[in-house]
């Protein structure tokens, strides 16, 4: 068991954990987005999708625990890597010119990650807790609750800012994860970079389109 802790604690171990958890979160976002986009199909479809998840609750709970562990590992390791980097280089990039060595997006992963973290806490304490642990269904349908939340201009703007920030995090994160797995040769890396760019734009635009839609139609 000791060897496992030692390997996970090494710098390459931490990078591999970041890459595996990052790619798992990338895949999770695709499923989550597909679910959320059913809002555009109208109340009946969205309410049916959410209710169908209710009918397989034990399975959903297991997935949620796995997802929470992935987030915890990702955040814990991300903060550790950032801190170790900071200790190793107290005045970062002062001497050799920052833009030459790393991009702005790669240098701000901890900042974009922290904004996503704040978003996550607010998002879970509004949507997830209302859908799972409140008597919301007695007064609202899931669709009505979502429409009400997004027709609040402050909540909608905060959500959109968080999704743009997520796009920045993913634009660097996508290519960085594949680089960790060694996909950084001349032939494939441009393709990975382009895919990462398209994926991050898709996430930022598609997730943001939902609050924009409800702001425009003015609730339900
Ligand atoms: C849905 C949410 C998130 C997704 C999809 C995501 C995705 C990713 C990916 C793919 C990477 C690249 C991994 C690698 O370098 O191999 C990454 C890196 C990173 N993430 Fe996230 N992330 C998310 C949330 C967060 C949060 C909440 C934090 C909180 C601090 C965070 C902090 C970091 C940091 C600091 C790095 C850079 C680590 C390094 O130095 O290599 N991320 N993320």
First to last CA, the chain: 55
69 vs 53: which has the higher pLDDT: 69
Element (H, E) at 124: none
Look at residue 93 in the predicted model and tell me its pLDDT: 55
In this structure, are residues 40 and 213 in contact, taking their beta carbons and an 8 Å threshold?
yes
CA of 148 to the centre of ligand 1 (A): 31
In this structure, are residues 81 and 14 in contact, taking their beta carbons and an 8 Å threshold?
yes
Per-residue pLDDT of 145-200, as tens digits, reads: 999 999 999 999 999 999 999 999 999 999 999 999 888 888 889 999 999 999 99
CA of 5 to the centre of ligand 1 (A): 21
Is the pLDDT at 92 greater than 90? The verdict is no
CA of 169 to the centre of ligand 1 (A): 7
CA of 180 to the centre of ligand 1 (A): 13
Look at residue 148 in the predicted model and tell me its pLDDT: 92
Give the predicted TM-score (pTM) of the model: 0.90
What is the sign of the dihedral through the CA atoms of 31, 37, 43 and 44? negative
Nearest C-alpha neighbor of 109 from the set 217, 19, 10 = 19
Look at residue 98 in the predicted model and tell me its pLDDT: 47
Question: What is the number of other CB atoms lying within 10 angstroms of the CB of residue 170?
Answer: 26
pLDDT bucket at 39, cuts 50 / 70 / 90? very high
**By percentage, how much of the chain surpasses pLDDT 70?**
91
Ligand 1 nearest atom to the CA of residue 179, by list position? 16
The interaxial angle of helices 109-123 and 57-88, nearest 10 deg, is 150
CATH 4.10.910.10 fits 2-217, yes or no: no
Q: Is 75 in the pocket of ligand 1 (CB under 6 A)?
A: yes
Per-residue pLDDT of 97-137, as tens digits, reads: 445 546 999 999 999 999 999 999 999 999 888 777 777 76
Is the pLDDT at 140 greater than 90? The verdict is no
Q: Is 155 in the pocket of ligand 1 (CB under 6 A)?
A: no
- Computed over its alpha carbons, how large is the radius of gyration of the chain? 20
CA of 22 to the centre of ligand 1 (A): 6
Q: For the CA atoms of 65, 7, 24, 201, what is the dihedral angle to 10 degrees?
A: 130
Name every residue whose Cβ is closer than 8 Å to that of residue 166 and which is 6 or more positions away in sequence: 112, 116, 119, 200, 203, 204, 207
Task: For ligand 1, pick from 85, 116, 171, 202 the residue to mutate: most ligand atoms within 8 Å of CB.
Answer: 116
Look at residue 94 in the predicted model and tell me its pLDDT: 52
Q: Is 167 in the pocket of ligand 1 (CB under 6 A)?
A: no
């Amino acid at each position: 068991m000791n060897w496992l802790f030692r390997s996970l604690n090494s710098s390459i171990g931490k990078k591999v954990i970041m890459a595996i958890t990052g790619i798992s979160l990338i895949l999770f976002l695709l499923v989550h987005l597909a679910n959320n986009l059913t809002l555009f199909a109208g109340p009946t479809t969205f309410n049916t999708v959410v209710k169908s998840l209710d009918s397989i609750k034990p399975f959903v709970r297991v997935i949620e625990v796995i997802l929470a562990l992935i987030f915890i590992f990702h955040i814990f390791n991300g903060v550790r890597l950032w801190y170790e980097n900071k200790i190793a280089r107290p005045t970062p990039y002062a001497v050799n010119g920052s833009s030459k060595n790393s991009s702005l997006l790669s240098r701000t992963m901890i900042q974009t990650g922290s904004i996503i973290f704040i978003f996550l806490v607010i998002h879970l304490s509004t949507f997830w807790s209302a859908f799972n642990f409140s008597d919301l269904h007695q007064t609202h349908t899931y669709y009505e609750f979502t429409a009400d939340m997004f027709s609040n201009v402050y909540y909608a703007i905060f959500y959109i800012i968080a999704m743009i920030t997520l796009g920045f995090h993913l634009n660097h994160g996508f290519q960085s994860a594949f680089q960790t797995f060694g996909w950084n040769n001349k032939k494939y890396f441009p393709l990975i970079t382009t895919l990462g760019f398209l994926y991050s734009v898709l996430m930022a635009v598609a997730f943001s389109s939902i609050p924009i839609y409800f702001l425009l139609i003015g609730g339900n």
